[in-house]
Amino acid sequence: MDKEQEYSDEELTETPENKASGNGEDLSHEELGRLLEDARSKADEHWDQVVRTRAEMDNLKKRHQRELENAHKYGLEKFVGELLGVRDSLELGFNAAQENHDVEKLLEGTELTLKMLADAMNKFGVEQIDPEGEPFNPELHQAMGMVPTNDVPPNTVVNVVQKGYLLNGRLVRPAMVMVSQAA
pLDDT tens, residue by residue, 148-183: 998 999 999 999 999 999 999 999 999 999 999 988
Q: Which of 106, 116, 37 is nearest to 83 (CA)?
A: 116
State residue 25's pLDDT score.
Answer: 58
Q: Strand, helix or coil at 13?
A: coil
State residue 180's pLDDT score.
Answer: 95
Asked if residue 177 and residue 166 are part of one domain, the reply reads yes
Structure confidence at residue 15 as a pLDDT band (50, 70, 90): low
Contact yes or no for 177/143 (Cβ under 8 A): yes
Within 8 A by CB and 6+ apart from 89, the residues are 109, 112, 113, 116
Asked if residue 118 and residue 129 are part of one domain, the reply reads no
Measure the N-to-C terminal CA separation of the chain; round to a whole number of Å.
Answer: 105
Domain assignment present for residue 108? The answer is yes
Residues forming a β-bridge with 148: 181
Domain that holds residue 180: 125-183
**Distance in angstroms (rounded) separating the CA atoms of residues 86 and 121:** 11
Domain assignment present for residue 13? The answer is no
pLDDT at 13 over 70: no
Choose the weakest-confidence range: 6-15, 67-76, 85-94: 6-15
User: Which CATH number goes with the domain that contains 147?
Assistant: 2.30.22.10
Indicate whether this model's pTM tops 0.85: no
Amino acid occupying residue 148: P
State residue 1's pLDDT score.
Answer: 45
Domain assignment present for residue 117? The answer is yes
Residue 179 backbone phi and psi in degrees, to 5? -115, 140
pLDDT tens column, 124-143: 999 999 999 999 999 999 99
State residue 68's pLDDT score.
Answer: 94
